Amino acid sequence: MHPHSVLVTVTGHDRPGVTSALFAALAAHDVEVLDVEQVVISDRLVLGVMLALHGDPAPLRRAVTHAAEALGTEVEVTITEDPDELAAQVPVRHHVLVLGRPLRAGAVGEMARRISDLGGNIHSIVRLTHRPVTALELVVSGVEPRRLGAGLVDGAAAAGVDVAVERAGLQRRAKRLLLLDMDIVVVGPEPFAALADEVGRGEESRRLLAADGRSGAEVVRARAALLAGAPVEILDTLRGRMRWAPGSRALIGAARRAGHRAGIVTPGVAQVAEHLVDGLALDFLAANRLETADGRLTGRIVGEVVGAGGRGRALARFAESYGVPLTQSVAAGCGQDAAELLRLAGLGVVLDVARPVRSDAEPGPSAHLDALRFVLGLRMDDPEDPPRQATDALAAGGR
């Protein structure tokens, strides 16, 4: 005899003992618990239990109804005899975190619409925290992870929220490696355009970027070529215009103290990035190194170009160098450039940075790093300055 599939749904005012009383009533019957969901909003309870029942369903229905009446709640019992329903594989689920400061109703609606348009189904929504960042966790199934990540990148920008995507499973609790796009932790002008301004070719550099849209490798090389013959001192000028966003150094320091390997990737200039990270306990840095000779820039890039697609390769290289599976990595970026990080990382985070991804503007601080700290499970009150000792990897040429 095939087991019956039973769904018990209890609703009503929440009170101590509801869950224990329901399961006490179920315990008298030959049932297997397949799934449980319980949500309390204010004082309203919704409790759902999926069961496999071996035996007559009538006594179970009576017992559950009696227990609900004693508790002053309502109950609905749905019974089917479809064995395929019980044998069906549990769909692959992903945890989607939506974070806002504040979190607007329109933003939640926009993200839900994006998930629905992708063919996804939201199984549950739970509020994780309210201050200083409001965070909702959505459990989603039915969407291939690459499509989910790419769709939510656009949704995050449209809704003005931060979004993190992570596959469900035990490994989501064990993160060991953090890679940050420098765009989210550093405030300053777009590096190649700013350097080109110093030699009177800034507009050419911007046109190349605008034509490509995502700064592919060939465009990065072409923009570097505009700098040929420029004195290396223009790098010092750019260094003086770049600064850490408030809280960035504390974020990196807190991650290092929590045991994470920490690294930065940027489509900018390595010589400028190295100046910024000097003294931070970083394990990895990927950027475009401009070749120099006789005190001048040659217009060429040394080594691998970090452009569109380069962030994902940097993450894979970083993880491999420390023997860390990508499922145990966290990668954070902004805009469309974060899509490849979402696809590869165990936990991918798209931040709604207040400034455009590539802009010469230097706006005020953004609160987006609070959201990233929350996603990483780091304390909000960690000190600003991280430990300043250099790591073995960087000292050995990890840059």
Place of tokens 């400034």: 355
Cis peptide leading into residue 132 (ω within 30°): yes
Which is nearest to 63 in space by CA: 104, 9, 17, 26? 26
Which is nearest to 64 in space by CA: 99, 118, 21? 21
Q: Please say if 181 is a catalytic residue.
A: yes
Q: Which of 56, 82, 181, 294 is catalytic?
A: 181
As beta bridge partners, residue 301 has 290
Q: Please say if 183 is a catalytic residue.
A: yes
Where on the phi/psi map is residue 311: left (φ > 0), alpha (ψ -120 to 50), or beta?
Answer: alpha
Cα(166)–Cα(341) distance, rounded to whole angstroms? 12
DSSP 281: -
Question: What letter represents residue 340's amino acid?
Answer: E
The total number of residues shown for the chain amounts to: 399
Cis peptide leading into residue 191 (ω within 30°): no
Q: Which of 183, 197, 352, 370 is catalytic?
A: 183
Q: How far is CA 90 from CA 71, 93, 141, 359, in A?
A: 32, 8, 9, 45
Catalytic residues: 181, 183
